[in-house]
Amino acid sequence: MKFHLKDLINYRDIVVQCHDNPDADALASGFALVWYLKKQDIDARFVYGGKDAVKKSNLLKMIDDLQITVEHITELPEPELLVTVDCQYGESNVTKFDAENVIVIDHHRVSGELPDPSDVRSNYGSCSTVLYELLTAEGLDINENQRLATALYYGLMTDTDNFSSIFHPADRDLHDMAKFDPMDIDGFRSANMSKEELAIAGKAMQNAVFNDEYRYGIIEAEPCDPNILGLLSDMLLEVDGVDTCVVYDRLENGVKFSVRSATKDTKASELAKYMADDMGGGGGHLTKAGGFIKKDLIEKKGIPFTADKVSEMLNNRLHQYHKESEIVYAGQKEEDISLYQHYTKTEVSVGYVKVADLAKAGSTVMIRTLEGDVDVQVEEDLYIILGVDGEIYPCRQKKFESSYRLSDEPYVFPGEYPPVVVDTVGGERIPVLPYAKSCIAIGGSGIYARPLDHRVKVFTTWDPDKYYLGVEGDYLAVRADDLTDIYIIAKSVFERTYRLS
Ligand SMILES: [Mn+2]
Kindly report the CA angle at 130 between 124 and 132, in degrees rounded to 5? 125
Kindly report the CA angle at 142 between 138 and 144, in degrees rounded to 5? 105
371 CA distance to ligand 1 centroid (A)? 22
Give the chain's largest Cα–Cα span: 73
Same domain, 222 and 293: yes
Residue 369 pLDDT: 66
Per the DSSP assignment, residues forming a β-bridge with 494 are none
- Inter-residue contact 268 to 289 (CB < 8 Å): yes
195 CA distance to ligand 1 centroid (A)? 23
**CA 481 and chain centroid, separation:** 37
**Helix, strand, coil fractions of the chain, as percent rounded to 5:** 30, 30, 40
At residue 449, the 3 state secondary structure works out as strand
130 CA distance to ligand 1 centroid (A)? 10
**9 DSSP 8-state letter:** G
At residue 199, the 3 state secondary structure works out as helix
Give the C-alpha separation, 321 to 270, whole Å: 10
**173 DSSP 8-state letter:** H
127 CA distance to ligand 1 centroid (A)? 5
422 CA distance to ligand 1 centroid (A)? 27
303 CA distance to ligand 1 centroid (A)? 26
pLDDT 10s per residue in the chain (501 long)? 789 999 999 999 999 999 998 999 999 999 999 999 999 999 999 999 998 899 888 999 999 999 999 999 999 999 999 999 999 998 878 999 999 999 999 998 777 789 999 999 988 889 999 999 999 999 999 999 999 999 999 999 998 888 887 778 899 999 999 999 999 999 998 887 888 888 999 999 999 999 999 999 999 999 988 778 988 999 999 999 999 999 999 998 899 999 999 998 999 989 999 999 999 888 777 888 888 899 999 999 999 999 999 999 999 999 999 999 889 888 888 888 898 999 988 888 899 999 999 888 888 888 876 656 677 888 899 999 998 888 888 888 998 998 899 999 999 998 877 888 887 776 677 888 999 999 998 867 889 999 999 999 998 877 777 788 899 999 999 989 888 889 899 998 899 888 898
Q: Where are the beta strands (DSSP E) in 355-497?
A: 364-369, 372-377, 382-386, 392-396, 404-406, 420-423, 429-431, 437-441, 447-451, 456-459, 467-470, 475-479, 482-489
Same domain, 435 and 449: no
Same domain, 383 and 461: no
- Inter-residue contact 462 to 394 (CB < 8 Å): yes
27 CA distance to ligand 1 centroid (A)? 9
91 CA distance to ligand 1 centroid (A)? 14
Q: What are phi and psi of 378, to 5 degrees?
A: -80, 120
18 CA distance to ligand 1 centroid (A)? 10
345 CA distance to ligand 1 centroid (A)? 44
CA-closest candidate to residue 250, choices 289, 277, 212, 219: 219
DSSP, residue by residue, 123-168: TSS-HHHHHHHHHHHTT--GGGSHHHHHHHHHHHHHHTTTTTT--S
Same domain, 425 and 336: no
Same domain, 121 and 256: no
Amino acid residing at 414 = P
291 CA distance to ligand 1 centroid (A)? 12
Among candidate residues 158, 189, 220, the one where a domain is terminated: 189
| 244-251 and 101-106 beta bridge pairing | unpaired
338 CA distance to ligand 1 centroid (A)? 51
123 CA distance to ligand 1 centroid (A)? 11
Same domain, 46 and 151: yes
Give the C-alpha separation, 322 to 338, whole Å: 27
At residue 274, the 3 state secondary structure works out as helix
166 CA distance to ligand 1 centroid (A)? 12
29 CA distance to ligand 1 centroid (A)? 9
306 CA distance to ligand 1 centroid (A)? 25
Same domain, 172 and 223: no
Among candidate residues 162, 189, 216, the one where a domain is terminated: 189
Among candidate residues 417, 439, 461, the one where a domain is terminated: 439
**433 DSSP 8-state letter:** G
362 CA distance to ligand 1 centroid (A)? 40
320 CA distance to ligand 1 centroid (A)? 30
64 CA distance to ligand 1 centroid (A)? 20
Same domain, 426 and 478: no
- Inter-residue contact 266 to 310 (CB < 8 Å): no
Total domains in the chain come to: 4
15 CA distance to ligand 1 centroid (A)? 19
Give the C-alpha separation, 124 to 168, whole Å: 6
For position 301, which CATH number holds? Answer: 3.10.310.30
Residue 460 pLDDT: 81
378 CA distance to ligand 1 centroid (A)? 38
Per the DSSP assignment, residues forming a β-bridge with 116 are none
CA-closest candidate to residue 72, choices 60, 81, 80: 60
- Inter-residue contact 486 to 328 (CB < 8 Å): yes
- Inter-residue contact 318 to 216 (CB < 8 Å): yes
Same domain, 459 and 335: yes
Same domain, 32 and 130: yes
211 CA distance to ligand 1 centroid (A)? 33
| 429-431 and 341-345 beta bridge pairing | unpaired
At residue 31, the 3 state secondary structure works out as helix
Please state, as a whole number, how many other Cβ atoms lie within 10 Å of the Cβ of residue 96.
14
501 CA distance to ligand 1 centroid (A)? 50
Give the C-alpha separation, 289 to 197, whole Å: 21
107 CA distance to ligand 1 centroid (A)? 7
Give the C-alpha separation, 372 to 166, whole Å: 10
Give the C-alpha separation, 293 to 170, whole Å: 22
Give the structural domain span for 14: 5-189
Same domain, 171 and 58: yes
Question: Which positions ≥6 away from 209 have C-beta within 8 Å?
Answer: 217, 218, 219, 315
Task: Return the HEC string of 330-386.
Answer: CCCCCCCHHHCEEEEECCEEEEEEEHHHHCCCCCEEEEEECCEEEEEECCCCEEEEE
Same domain, 339 and 269: no
